[in-house]
A and B are shown apart, each in its own frame.
Chain A
Amino acid sequence: MAEVLVLVDHIDGSVRKPTFELLTLANRIGEPSAVFLGAGYSEDARKTLADHGAEKVYVVDSADVTDYLVAPSAEALAAVVAQSSPAAVLLVSSQDGKEIAARLAVKTNSGLITDATDVEASDKGPVATASAFAASWKVSSVATSGTPIITVKPNSADVTEVAGAGTEVRVDVSFSDLAKSAKVSDVRPRAASGRPDLGEASIVVSGGRGLGGAENFAVVEALADALGGAVGASRAAVDAGWYPHPFQVGQTGKTVSPQVYIAVGISGAIQHRAGMQTSKNIIAINKDNEAPIFELADLGIVGDLFKVVPQLTEEIIKRKS
């Protein structure tokens, strides 16, 4: 069976959950192999990739991958593609993942599919499903030239643990001058919130302009914590400086698809919907009964968020104990 390469998404060697989702999907369409780029590779990383089905773990251990933007990663991945002739390459649909995929597609003259939410085998090769037009359409496509390159959104598959051999394969890459043309400096990691990752959480509570101020995000955070969920924000709340940009949900923020999405003081503009429309259950709390968010809500509560949300939080805490 042909190999399917999965680019490992990791922070300093610690492998992130979307990688396991990709290995699970890769298993459906071929024999999964992981490609680890950058510094921080360890036996732990190899083992956890093997435990999720990786037959081989290709390793390009080079600081160039983090010292320069995207281009070295694409060169390294292209080198692994050249030596393994895979049936497909899967990457996480993150900023970096998409841009690495983009350059790899040019290098290998391959069909590129972005933001897939499912990947399945077919006699035409892997079929990728993706949403379009603020999630109002569903599109399935295949790659018809080169090696199918597919970026997959986080949370698109249930992770299964299957043992793979996890054979380590070291790959030496000498990077071109061009790959080192955009230098990364002054890296400021974001402070961890202690809450589940927005893209992966099964419950998301988002706050909008209706909160009226940064300090009132405490109301949203308290509900999220009672539910063990993540916190999100509308762009209006982010633009006002009430909550940081990485938490923005929508067209130019994150796309989330949790079990439960609770929109608090959010009107439901098309750009916001684009990021949350595929949530399994939507609860909206808004004082304006004509707010468009109610068109998608499974449960809509017309009322003052400052009354409804604290009551809900209290009720959840009570019922949980």
Chain B
Amino acid sequence: MRVLVLVKYTPDLVSDRAFAADGTVDRAAVDGNLSELDEYAVEQALQIAEKGSDVEVTYLTMGPAEATGALRKALSMGGDKGIHVLDDSLHGSDYLSTSLVLAEAIKKAGFDLVITGMASTDGNGGVISAMLAERLGVSQVTLAGEILSVDDSSVTIRRDGDLASMTITGALPAVVSVTDQTGEARYPSFRGIMAAKNKPVETWSLADLGVDAELVGLAGAGTSVESADRRPPRTAGEIVTDDGDGGIKAADFLVSNKLV
């Protein structure tokens, strides 16, 4: 079985993340990482590989040169190889064009199961997986809180919705996304980190995928950012130490601000 895991390289959560003048995420100003939420996808793929026989795990990322960092991190956790879609014209791609490029790369790589994170930690969209299922014309089995079973013909998950929890079963090939409820991801071992250095990583350009540059990047985006502004930081208010009347002070605050 060919398992393809989508890993995104995203700005570090605790850094001072910002937008560049062209309205795109400033990826140069701050350090990046394999998106925390994609680690859960890597973990689930590795568990499938450990349980099954003849499972090949490939990681796919689309992003600037630094994005190989996401592939290396994933490869140090386990898995077989990486694919990096790298092309200057991809800068500024939105959901529509990102999903287009990823879908073409997925087709070229070949797959039985695509596994993604629940959302990117920068955009927080949570939409790429559904877009990929639509573009690829395969089952959408998304937002798994738990992968219940996978075999050569189908995948079954538990999806925890707002109003109900449910079981979803889809035929392979399928796109699965996993939430942070699926269980903590493993740490790379020293051996894993060393082994990752020798695992193959291919770099594909748009030309390799046969995608027209007009359809991607800022030129091909279906949305345009009109303005991006930093919110004024919240100013800390009054901090008091409880001297036996902390609850009364809180009640005073609520009452004097007409909040109750």
Contact = CB atoms under 8 A, between A and B. Distances in A.
A115 interface: yes
A182 B247 contact: no
A11 to B, nearest CB: 6
Contacts of B257: 281
Contact of B17 (A136, A185, A308, A311): A136
B240 A144 contact: no
Interface in A273-313: 277, 281-283, 285, 289, 294-304, 307-313
A107 B257 CA distance: 49
B58 interface: no
Contacts of B143: 95
Contacts of A135: 231
A183 B154 CA distance: 11
A101 to B, nearest CB: 7
Give 7 nearest A-B pairs by CB, closest first. A303-B242, A311-B247, A111-B222, A312-B247, A102-B127, A298-B237, A102-B130
A320 B127 CA distance: 45
A87 B147 CA distance: 39
Interface stretch (B59-67, B107-115, B157-165, B203-211): B157-165
Nearest to B252: A315
Contacts of B131: 102-103, 105-106
B59 to A, nearest CB: 22
A315 B249 CA distance: 10
Contact of A311 (B125, B226, B246): B246
A141 B223 contact: yes
A144 B140 contact: no
B68 interface: no
B55 interface: no
Contact of A139 (B94, B127, B168, B225): B225
A238 B242 CA distance: 27
A283 B225 CA distance: 34
Nearest to B19: A137
A294 B247 CA distance: 16
A245 interface: yes
A83 B176 CA distance: 32
A70 B140 contact: yes
Contacts of B123: 114, 132
B189 interface: no
Interface residues of B, number: 86
A295 B166 contact: no
Contacts of A227: 254, 260
Which of B143, B163, B171, B257 counts the most A-chain CB atoms under 10 A from its CB? B163
Interface of B: 13-14, 17-19, 23, 37, 94-96, 99, 118-119, 121-131, 133-135, 137-143, 145, 159-171, 174, 179-181, 221-231, 233-234, 236-242, 244-251, 253-255, 257, 259-260
A316 B171 contact: no
B165 A190 contact: yes
B242 A69 contact: no
Contact of A302 (B133, B166, B240): B240
Contact of A143 (B142, B145, B222, B255): B222
Contacts of A134: 13
Contacts of A137: 17-19, 228-231
Given A143-B223, A185-B169, A285-B246, 5 more contacts: A101-B127, A182-B168, A182-B174, A294-B239, A311-B247
A260 interface: yes
A298 to B, nearest CB: 4
Given A271-B13, A295-B234, A316 B260 contact: yes
A160 interface: no
Contacts of B140: 69-71, 99, 103, 181-182
Contacts of A312: 246-248, 250-251
Contacts of B99: 106
A146 B223 CA distance: 10
A96 B143 CA distance: 10
Which of B23, B129, B257 counts the most A-chain CB atoms under 10 A from its CB? B257
A216 B241 CA distance: 22
Contacts of B250: 262, 283, 285, 299, 301, 308, 312, 315
16 contacts: A69-B159, A71-B134, A71-B140, A102-B95, A133-B122, A136-B17, A138-B230, A143-B223, A181-B170, A281-B257, A297-B239, A302-B240, A303-B241, A307-B244, A316-B254, A316-B260
A176 to B, nearest CB: 9
A247 B126 CA distance: 19
Contact of A308 (B19, B37, B133, B246): B246
A266 interface: no
A144 B134 contact: no
B121 A251 contact: yes
